[in-house]
Amino acid sequence: MMKILVVTLFSVLAMAPFGRLNAQITAAIKGLGNDTVYIWKYPLANIKDMHKDTLIANNNMFTYPVSTEPTAYAIIPHKAVYKRSDGSFYVAQTKFIELFSLPDEQITIEGELEERYLDYKTSGNDVSRKLAQFRTSYKTPSIEAVKIELKMDSMRENGGIEDQINELFHTRQQYFGKIAQAKTDYVNNNFDQDLSAYLISRFSLEKFATYYPKLTTDIRNGMFRDVLENSYRNYQKFNAVKLAEETLNIGNDAPHFELKDNHGKVVSLSDFEGKIIVLEFWGTWCPPCLEEIPKLKSFYEKNKKNIVFVGIACNEKKEEWNAAIRDYNLEWPQLINSDKDDVAIMYGITTYPTKIVIDKNLKIVKRFVGATEDFFAEIQDLMK
């Protein structure tokens, strides 16, 4: 019986690609101890497909399997995560590891976790090694920025003077500027490097658009091709939104659209012609949007004979959207935005929530940006 089991196991191993058996990240980091480690990762082919794992280190060490496709990782020790005074969390970027894996790759990490910095080196692909080395060039401003962030939070918690907090904020921005300059200098000197492609993908969209054409063709079509193309699409969307925001003036015709509601029915703007319409751009991921719901419900209940609200959820997951409609008992029409017919772009939406008031003839009347009391104060006059 034992002989059969051994033969069977040998057969399974022989059939498996040898590389996959060894394809893993192996880390040894002094100071990590037996603490928790968070792994955030996404395939380079789809940066929106974020996955998060948690593991426990054992005597400063841990292993983690690499993905079967090119993947980006943020490896975050628990000691890099700080709880703010308001209950939210701050992750010190000086104390986590950024790297990339290729299929069947073996990667080793050796480092030391200090009070404000994780110093490490990594083997494996060229871009991960260069990123680990490059980050040391802005180590000092990075550490100083983290110190200031934590000091500002402590001052807020203990009733610090606002002017002093603002002064620290400006000092921190100066350190951020030094970090940004280091990255810009690297890109300017290395348009033929994959690391430059990754760095510009993290630039502002307008700055990205300046540097993207300067990368060599091989780099634009290389390891970060999908990441770069996603950034370029976002830049195009940014431009379209900006143009709509500038040109969609009061008195203009409201752009026509068709979207599906939470029952799967196609709804168009023209369905509401003859009524005062409020397009409410929101999302379940937007705290001010959720905080405003009780006021909106109260106002709608008193005025629904004279006005129609139309909720348009943006950047939304259907499951969370449907749950919010149910949990908040939203009675007015609820539509979900579409990449194919992106109404947020049509209406130049850059901030959430935003409300667009449209008259009975489908003309733009007013734009209210943010969760502002001005909406409730002025909408009564607009309904007359």
Dump pLDDT digits (tens) for 266-280. 999 999 999 999 999
Q: Which homologous superfamily is 258-382 in?
A: Glutaredoxin (3.40.30.10)
Looking at residue 149, what is its pLDDT?
Answer: 94
Looking at residue 16, what is its pLDDT?
Answer: 42
- Asked whether residue 19 carries a pLDDT value surpassing 50, the answer given is no
- Asked whether residue 119 carries a pLDDT value surpassing 90, the answer given is yes
Rounded to an integer, the average pLDDT of 313-322 is 93
CATH 2.60.40.180 range(s) for the chain read 19-189
Looking at residue 382, what is its pLDDT?
Answer: 77
Pairwise pLDDT comparison (85 vs 310), residue with the higher score = 310
Looking at residue 7, what is its pLDDT?
Answer: 38
- Asked whether residue 11 carries a pLDDT value surpassing 50, the answer given is no
Tens digits of per-residue pLDDT, 27-65? 999 999 999 999 999 999 999 899 999 999 999 999 999
Looking at residue 20, what is its pLDDT?
Answer: 54
Query: Among 12-16, 37-41, 165-169, 219-223, which stretch is predicted with the lowest mean pLDDT?
Result: 12-16
21 — pLDDT class (breaks 50, 70, 90): low
Q: How far is CA 74 from CA 37, 93, 96, 105, 179, in A?
A: 10, 10, 7, 17, 19
6 — pLDDT class (breaks 50, 70, 90): very low
380 — pLDDT class (breaks 50, 70, 90): confident
Pairwise pLDDT comparison (211 vs 382), residue with the higher score = 211
Rounded to an integer, the average pLDDT of 263-292 is 94
Give 19-189's CATH code, choosing from 2.60.40.180, 3.40.50.10490, 2.40.10.10, 3.30.70.20.
2.60.40.180
Rounded to an integer, the average pLDDT of 195-202 is 97
CATH 3.40.30.10 range(s) for the chain read 258-382
